[in-house]
Structure 1
Amino acid sequence: MKLFHKISLIAFLIISCKSAQDNQLSNSSFEIVTPTTKTSILYGKGERLDSITANLLAEDIYKVTSYKPKVITSTNEATKNVIVIGELKSNLIKTFLEDDAVKQEFKNQWESYIYKTITNPTKTIEKAFIITGTNPRGTAYGVFDLSKKIGVSPWYWWADVPAKKQQELIINQPEFYSSAPSVAFRGIFLNDEDWGLQPWAEHTFEPETGDIGPKTYSKIFELLLRLKANTIWPAMHPSTKAFFHYPSNRKMAEAYNIVIGTSHAEPMLRNNVDEWNKETMGHFNYKTNKESVYKYWEDRVKEAKNIDGIYSMGMRGVHDSGMEGVKSKDEAVEVLTDVIADQRGLLKKYINPNVEDVPQALTVYKEVLDLYKNGLKVPDDITLVWTDDNYGYIRSLSNAEEQKRNGGSGVYYHASYWGRPHDYLWLESTNPYLIHEEMMKAYNLNNKDIWILNVGDIKPAEYSMQLFLDMAFDAESFQKTEAVKAHQTQFFTDIFGADLGETMADIKTAYYQLAFERKPEFMGWSQTEKTTPIYKSAYNTLSYGDEISERIKSFETLENKVDSIEEKLPEALNSSFTQLLSYPVKGASNMTKKFMYRDKALVYANQGRKSASVYKDKSNNSYENIVALTKNYNALSNGKWQGIMDMKPRRLPVFDNPEINLEFKNTEKPIGISVEDTSSTKSGIPKLPTFYVNDTASYFIDVFLVKNNQASWSFENIPNWIKLSQVSGELNDRVLEKRIQVSIDWNLWKASGEPLSAQIKIKSEGFNETIQINTSNSYQNLSEASLVEKNGLAVIYASSFSNIHKTEKTFWEKQTGFGHTQSVMQAKPLNAKSTENTTEAAYLEYDIETETITNEAILKIVAIPTHPLTTDGDVRIKVQWNNEPIQELSFKTYGRSNTWKQNVLTNKAIKQMKVSLKTKGKQTLKIFMVDAGVALDYMVLNTKNKKLGYKLPKETELGR
């Protein structure tokens, strides 16, 4: 099953809209539609996939030009210009191409294709544009690549993308040989289809079947081929009948040449959930019920004898659970060894005596990874399919010895998931940079025989699917992280045009980044399995600039940009825009507001603010907005998608309209104030965070109504060097609160003698409060780019090193766009051996200026929560603070521990150590590489045991 892959960039096909008289035709020019030329399409009679692609190409040309080419199967019918479609070894293609006209090394290349224009190949044909592949799928990729380049998106049906209309269609394509795909078997797993794909198929698209049946699969298989994929793991939840239940499903897969596999829990092409009947078959237990289980598998193997399939080997529970009847890992390994031997016996008996030639895979998922580590021996020809931890972080990949296996290896990866600590089934929210980092890591460590993406219902995971499969087909063009932004821009440009492509990509990038901070489905701070109620979030609305307002503002900015585009968007693109951008952005925004406004209401009620009731209403309104957005989505394209989008998959608490019971603080004061950080002096006077010389920072003071229905307020005793965004105002039923930003005019501060403190007063009828303002000149002799401690914290992004040291064999490399800082530093190369000796290790060095003397400071180091690269690996660094002893830290987690759960919910792995600040001034931090793959995001030095916020803190750079 292991294939040799050689990759190069696919040449662009140049499309010309010029009239025939203006176009100087070359030998590679081919007129499809002009005033004088109407091309026909020729394929070989009896070739099923060629027939499908030929007719789809005719439809695509019609979408673009309103002319539908005639599709023929006889060369005798062909006249003038003809597009010829067929496999390289077919009799039809041999009529046009001599054997020596094709590069010899190309002929055995996996799933590849050729474009070639031939002049006067027959007496009746003036020009033939040849699309031929090394197998039928290779030919199909060539056909659909042409369709994409003439203006028909792979998503024309699944996202209602209109074709780009042209009156004339002329292609200028030099002879072209495609490269082989980077990954041999590339595809998707339809999963958790209970709330979208299945009910939509049952009630809207395929009511004649009442299920996901051949009509639905034909559309899915077409999409796979248009995306140059070849493999499906069919839908398998209890809501859906097994793939083989409907004979036409198999026939459809055969027609489209799609490879059938099954998931990690479905051995031997079986769907246990639908096909294993405990009442008639007994327990799914190979120790106590071997005969029934064996026959169950045998029946499917005999039925699937001639299918193009990959057999999932091994055994788990009926669904996504551990194997029944075993009491220890050793016993499980013993049973699983017998299971695999018996399964291979079936394949040998019914499929091929040379069982090593039968495609087989063992998905090393959940407890199976533990069994593999515990000594399970897997036959060398079986492909090891590694998995992520369900949240995008691959648990292990092949080590140097495993990379030598004849069966090779691959990856099963999630873009959608049902399970603990929390589902994410509603919106597409996996950051493309995370997909890129993990899958390119897999590719570069030679795990490239099978890549499967769990796409849930397909919608709304369109972009994740596009990116994943494009990387699987041409991984070499994705070696740098910058390729992600370019790819996303191209995706939107292809659909919406160059004027909008980059803007939309920027919006979606910001959307993904907000989801990386916290997925929409995780905003209730609840968990599942067991399901908990929602809780107050960890976002702090009273400190760090008001984290809640900042997150709301970030989403509102995106919503405004979306609205601006929608106002000017051509009507034909409205449906696509809603599906690919508007619904995800607005849905995530309103989910955020629902919980952020709830939190504000609870916190503000505790302060006695009248405005708390307003935020309660805003929270409830955000829920109603999601209802309306979802209703609109399901009505798109004249009801085509009715039932595809469910805003409450699994009916978890996070999706409900939250109950908000406000308990207002009882106070007699007419108004109240809240200063940022809510700290106070020793005498009890509230104070703002300290301002540092030449910083542009500002901090807020909130003034709000408590008892009165209206009140006037004003600040007094304001030194000229203190700037307030407003010094007086009115509060009433329309303005229940006002936020005042406070900053420093440093020129006036210097002219006033550089005072280190001042007190300002705020007054209203029956209210008088003093607020302390402090400044610091600790760092006035430093450059503005210096990293410093401010207000008890120093925040350093991993890419802000003062020195970087590489060795002959190892180095740290910046991954632009990735992580909370979007600039993580990763230990490279990925195949490097662990470096135990720091004198031989690559390291990062950071200079930090501090103003506190303490032996109790805490240094937190935040990394991306990746797992060890191999089963016997680790995720370690070594850290040295000043000249203190070097300490080793490991980010490795085990199983589904609470640490792992928090890691995947926050996309952070945090380790901390106590450090001493013996003197003020410069401190030095060194971080040494130990294990390859570690991805450092940022560090926080906490000198005063401050409670940190949730969001990525701003880097404490002097001057900001």
Structure 2
Amino acid sequence: MKIAAISLGLLLLPWAAVACEAPVSVCEQTAKGSFPLIRKGQPVAVYVDSGADSAVRHAADDFQADLGRVSGNAASLITDAAKVKGPVVIIGVMGQSPVIDKLIADKKINIDNVRGQWEAYTQIVVDNPMPGVRQALVIAGSDRRGAIFGTYDLSAKIGVAPWYWWADVPVAQKPEVYVTAGAVHDQPKVKYRGFFINDEEPAFGNWAREKFGGINAKLYEHVFELNLRLKGNYLWPAMWGKAFNDDDPRNTVLADEMGVIIGTSHHEPMARAHDEWHRNKDKGVTGGKWDYNTNAANLRTFWKGGIERIQRGDGALRDNIITLGMRGDGDEAMTEGTATQLLETIVADQRKIIAEVTGKPASETPQVWALYKEVQDYYDQGMSVPDDVILLFADDNWGQIRRLPALKEQSVSAKRNGGYGVYYHFDYVGGPRNYKWLNTNQIEKTWQQMDLAYASGADQLWIVNVGDIKPMEYPLSFFMDMAWNPQAMTPEALKAYPERWAAQQFGQQYAQSVGKILTRYSQLAARRKPELMDVDIMAQYRDAGRLYYDWHDLSQRAAQTATNLPGDYSDAWYQLIGYPVEATENLYDLYWTVARNRKAADNNDAGANYLADKAEALFVKDAELSARYHMLNGGKWNHMMSQTHIGYTNWQQPDTQVMPNVKRVPYGIYHVQDLDPVSIKKPEGKGFVESNGYVSIEAEHFARKVDGRDAQWTVIPHLGRTLSSVITMPQNAAPSDPKKGMRLEYDLTLNKDADTELHIYLVPTLDTRGQGGLKFGISIDDGPVLVQSFNLIPDQPDWNKAVSDNAHVVKVPLKGLKAGVHTLKFWRIDGNVVVQKLVIDTGGLKPYYLGPQQSLMAQ
């Protein structure tokens, strides 16, 4: 029997487009050879071997419950093959399930495509699988997680979203559900895929303590299930003042029982939470200074205890990836300057401990070394890393990957045995500002960076910092879906993803409208994160009203969509869409209102008093919106939106929300009509015209493009601040020689002779190869190519501004241009140069907060 591979592109199509057509798809009508999963409201039985792995049993139990959620009636779970009657779903692992092994031996299922593969599965409809059974749907895994992912994949197909518990997404009941005949197989392209719960106070921490009594196994059971339903297999647990293995010894046992691989963060080596160093002085560790130069013996004892603790009863380690290395106490640099030799010694000693405890060579235990912040500098300067250890590169904490394998390291012959991975961020505590309140991540940006990572050979481990988990539901789903198969997440699949995800949460009827809201929200939120907004920024914008109106328009669209949704979607809607949109609109309204209040007061305008009252009401409304979130579903999510976000004055959050200062005047002329937003005309048009002393062109509006032999220009809609961005693919292609002509051409007309300046708006990116910057070329007409270079360095002023503005502007003088028609050419040299807009200033631009401002950066 021919088995079809599952295509992410196929899954991105609307559900109705594939139902009843593709092999092993789900539909609500029967067809020839279909398997009746639910008939007249009655679900089929689920069979799993009595001796099955505990992780497979967990997944089978969940699938049994999912059938009940969809059908409205309880499904039975059978563990004795002799008791199987009628149609049945069979779940098991090849080589471990007698029932599945007999089907293989009888040639009733073909496992050629999945045998021996990592976390692979096949789903197949089998006729007459065993005596007395007319038909079965078999989910066979190459290993235990393969069986798990094949099972949860079917759960999602029948309508149980991975976020059914974490976002209260309703499960629509269906009296008839059938699975079409045939077979499919699938497996992940990135070996380890997961997320990191971090920066989890006060929101996640207070929520967990109230609802579960602590950061314990009762809580983590929900976390593990979510991870697995998202087809992830790896977790860095919460770590602010917490210790996964010490807080509740059941945590690590349950993770292993459910099939989740546990790791520790970049500064917590050897299966030890850093907090344990300060809390366990009475448990056999003498403590002292966190310093390997002066306290190595105590640190080795501490680390050995960490490895011993994750052993099973038979002495083998539970599923873990051991983090190596060492940073300073409190997640700081270990020493001043480069400590390469010391770090190499530490890692060598840690590997000796691993070998001693396991009784096997260290190379047989999965390990990772996170090249985070200064540790990457050690690597760049030649630090020796054991070949079997995964090298985990990191982004700059703001979504730009700092380093990736060099071109020579991407070849099969030169690739390390341990491979490479990426540690990415959707949440961060640090400069230039914390951002941990709401999702402010564009999936288009995540795609561009992770596509570059995969193309560059970073395919062993992907992990993302998601803060409190909520409200990162949307970008986390995307990250995990892309990690499963980065090759299938093409630009076309990326474009379709918002609608696909919206359909999974709210149904196909609302998918298009909700998908558009998700995309627009993500773009507006990424322009400038809410924590980076304040009154002064609003006061500096010439077109400040546009900032507010963009959010106001989106909020109105969201409100209209919400009125059309069935009532049982209200909680999910408010969590996933309603609150983020309305709360951010309110924040912008607050800052804009205060900015106008201060201007009015300075002009002795009594309208300032009205605006002061309004601002204070908006501040109160912010708290009311959070309170509504906390009351959803009987208070299920209390504390989750308690992160402070108003009143930042530096990188660190204020302890409490701080109302911006407003001014009142005792007398004056009252001009409220001129100050209230309802009387201000919304800006019209797109603004991409030649006028007022400049020409503004969206990067995708090229007149012509010339692709290269090894790379092609590709438009990525919505990436960046405005319409879209243009990149070249494959993103890891070698640098181009301008003489070979790969370029974009833009036709434009100048009204007068002028010494001009070209402003090139780029989506921020970093030189992942460490070659001193990224290059591109600019020319006018048939003039020479002017090679430009930029090199954003984390924590430096240019980088601070670029990540704050979500744009980096390169300015190129173009003197002596004559009035008339010209052709501007943008030449590819390096990859990972992402251009979103080009503006030629002929004297009309003035210094605003972000170059030519919203009048040019408009939609």
Task: Assess same fold via TM > 0.5.
Answer: yes
How big is the shift at 1:881?
4.3
Which residue is equivalent to 1:328?
337
The SS at the match of 2:812 is strand
Is residue 2:134 matched to residue 1:126?
yes
Q: Tell me which protein shows more helix as a share of its residues.
A: 2
Query: Residues of 1 paired with 2:578 and 2:38: CA distance?
Result: 36
1:452-471 to 2 correspondences below 5 Å: 452-471=463-482
Higher-Rg member (1/2): 1
Which residue is equivalent to 1:85?
91
- Out of 38, 43, 58, the position equivalent to 1:52 is 58
Which residue is equivalent to 2:229?
226
Query: Residues of 2 paired with 1:443 and 1:262: CA distance?
Result: 23
Residues 886 and 102 of structure 1, relative CA distance in 2, 3 Å threshold: closer
Which residue is equivalent to 1:70?
76
The SS at the match of 1:349 is helix
Which residue is equivalent to 1:871?
770
Which residue is equivalent to 2:537?
537
Query: Residues of 1 paired with 2:305 and 2:857: CA distance?
Result: 66
Which residue is equivalent to 1:500?
510
The SS at the match of 2:745 is strand
Which residue is equivalent to 2:501?
491
Query: Residues of 2 paired with 1:888 and 1:122: CA distance?
Result: 70
- Out of 112, 129, 141, the position equivalent to 1:104 is 112
Which residue is equivalent to 2:811?
912
Question: Partner amino acid for 2:720?
Answer: G
Question: Partner amino acid for 2:386?
Answer: P
The SS at the match of 1:177 is strand
Query: How high is the TM-score relative to the length of structure 2?
Result: 0.90
Tell me the alpha carbon deviations over residues 619-669 of structure 1, each in whole angstroms, 9 at most, x when there is no partner. Answer: 2222211101111111111111122221416982497343334387x9xxx
1:578-589 to 2 correspondences below 5 Å: 578-589=574-585
How big is the shift at 1:217?
0.5
1:770-919 to 2 correspondences below 5 Å: 789-835=690-736, 837-855=737-755, 857-872=756-771, 874-881=773-780, 886-919=785-818
The answer to which of 888-897 and 437-446 deviates more is 888-897
The SS at the match of 1:80 is coil
Which residue is equivalent to 2:314?
none
- Out of 373, 376, 380, the position equivalent to 1:373 is 380
Which residue is equivalent to 1:549?
545
Which residue is equivalent to 2:523?
513
Is residue 2:166 matched to residue 1:165?
no
How big is the shift at 1:477?
2.1
Query: Residues of 2 paired with 1:742 and 1:421: CA distance?
Result: 31
Residues 202 and 917 of structure 1, relative CA distance in 2, 3 Å threshold: same
How big is the shift at 1:428?
0.7
The SS at the match of 1:861 is strand
How big is the shift at 1:798?
1.9
- Out of 426, 441, 448, the position equivalent to 2:459 is 448
The answer to which of 462-471 and 270-279 deviates more is 270-279
How big is the shift at 1:476?
2.2
The SS at the match of 1:268 is coil
Which residue is equivalent to 1:113?
121
The SS at the match of 1:916 is strand
Which residue is equivalent to 1:294?
300
The SS at the match of 2:516 is helix
Which residue is equivalent to 1:658?
659
Share of identical aligned residues, percent? 29
Q: Is the 8 A contact 1:44 1:92 kept in 2?
A: no
Residues 92 and 245 of structure 1, relative CA distance in 2, 3 Å threshold: farther
Tell me the alpha carbon deviations over residues 464-489 of structure 1, each in whole angstroms, 9 at most, x when there is no partner. Answer: 11000000112222121x32231111
- Out of 245, 248, 257, the position equivalent to 2:247 is 245
How big is the shift at 1:454?
0.7
How big is the shift at 1:806?
3.1
The SS at the match of 1:295 is helix
How big is the shift at 1:853?
3.6
Query: Where do 5+ consecutive residues of structure 2 fail to align?
Result: 12-21, 312-316
- Out of 148, 155, 179, the position equivalent to 1:147 is 155
The SS at the match of 2:307 is helix
How big is the shift at 1:308?
0.8
The SS at the match of 2:172 is coil
Question: Partner amino acid for 2:147?
Answer: T
Residues 177 and 219 of structure 1, relative CA distance in 2, 3 Å threshold: same
Query: Residues of 2 paired with 1:87 and 1:740: CA distance?
Result: 64
- Out of 128, 131, 144, the position equivalent to 1:136 is 144
Query: Residues of 2 paired with 1:494 and 1:569: CA distance?
Result: 14
- Out of 194, 197, 202, the position equivalent to 2:204 is 197
Q: Is the 8 A contact 1:313 1:340 kept in 2?
A: yes
How big is the shift at 1:95?
3.5
Q: Is the 8 A contact 1:627 1:647 kept in 2?
A: no
Query: Residues of 1 paired with 2:601 and 2:820: CA distance?
Result: 43
Question: Partner amino acid for 1:806?
Answer: D
How big is the shift at 1:739?
5.1
How big is the shift at 1:741?
9.6
Query: Residues of 1 paired with 2:678 and 2:571: CA distance?
Result: 40
Question: Partner amino acid for 1:405?
Answer: R
Query: Residues of 2 paired with 1:736 and 1:135: CA distance?
Result: 60
Which residue is equivalent to 1:717?
none
Query: Residues of 1 paired with 2:848 and 2:112: CA distance?
Result: 64
Residues 858 and 123 of structure 1, relative CA distance in 2, 3 Å threshold: closer
Query: Residues of 1 paired with 2:126 and 2:747: CA distance?
Result: 66
Residues 897 and 45 of structure 1, relative CA distance in 2, 3 Å threshold: same
Residues 119 and 831 of structure 1, relative CA distance in 2, 3 Å threshold: closer
With a CA cutoff of 8 Å and minimum separation of 6, indicate the structure with the bigger relative contact order. 2
Query: How high is the TM-score relative to the length of structure 1?
Result: 0.81
Which residue is equivalent to 2:366?
359
The SS at the match of 2:293 is coil
Query: Residues of 2 paired with 1:558 and 1:737: CA distance?
Result: 16
Query: Residues of 1 paired with 2:278 and 2:567: CA distance?
Result: 49
Query: Residues of 2 paired with 1:340 and 1:499: CA distance?
Result: 55
Query: Residues of 2 paired with 1:384 and 1:786: CA distance?
Result: 46
How big is the shift at 1:277?
5.4
Residues 709 and 216 of structure 1, relative CA distance in 2, 3 Å threshold: closer
Tell me the alpha carbon deviations over residues 794-836 of structure 1, each in whole angstroms, 9 at most, x when there is no partner. Answer: 222222233333333444332222122332222444233334x
1:603-752 to 2 correspondences below 5 Å: 603-648=599-644, 652-653=653-654, 656-662=657-663, 707-708=668-669
Residues 828 and 157 of structure 1, relative CA distance in 2, 3 Å threshold: closer
Query: Residues of 1 paired with 2:523 and 2:539: CA distance?
Result: 16
How big is the shift at 1:52?
1.2
Residues 613 and 888 of structure 1, relative CA distance in 2, 3 Å threshold: farther
Q: Is the 8 A contact 1:264 1:362 kept in 2?
A: yes
Q: Is the 8 A contact 1:32 1:39 kept in 2?
A: no
How big is the shift at 1:34?
3.5
Which residue is equivalent to 1:214?
217
Question: Partner amino acid for 1:259?
Answer: I
Query: Residues of 2 paired with 1:132 and 1:786: CA distance?
Result: 56
Query: Residues of 2 paired with 1:908 and 1:884: CA distance?
Result: 28
Which residue is equivalent to 1:315?
326
Residues 737 and 76 of structure 1, relative CA distance in 2, 3 Å threshold: closer
Q: Is the 8 A contact 2:746 2:825 kept in 1?
A: yes
Residues 656 and 793 of structure 1, relative CA distance in 2, 3 Å threshold: farther
Question: Partner amino acid for 2:594?
Answer: R
Question: Partner amino acid for 1:858?
Answer: E
The SS at the match of 1:89 is coil
- Cα root mean square deviation, aligned: 3.0
Q: Is the 8 A contact 1:13 1:149 kept in 2?
A: no
Question: Partner amino acid for 1:389?
Answer: D
The SS at the match of 1:283 is coil
Question: Partner amino acid for 1:799?
Answer: E
Which residue is equivalent to 1:669?
none
Query: Residues of 2 paired with 1:190 and 1:285: CA distance?
Result: 27
Residues 64 and 574 of structure 1, relative CA distance in 2, 3 Å threshold: same
Residues 7 and 499 of structure 1, relative CA distance in 2, 3 Å threshold: closer
Question: Partner amino acid for 2:220?
Answer: Y
The answer to which of 358-367 and 618-627 deviates more is 618-627
1:236-275 to 2 correspondences below 5 Å: 236-238=239-241, 240-275=242-277
Query: Residues of 2 paired with 1:272 and 1:497: CA distance?
Result: 44
Tell me the alpha carbon deviations over residues 322-354 of structure 1, each in whole angstroms, 9 at most, x when there is no partner. Answer: 11xx3431xx00101111111111222222533
The SS at the match of 1:553 is helix
Question: Partner amino acid for 1:888?
Answer: V
The SS at the match of 2:122 is strand
Question: Partner amino acid for 1:523?
Answer: M
How big is the shift at 1:113?
1.1
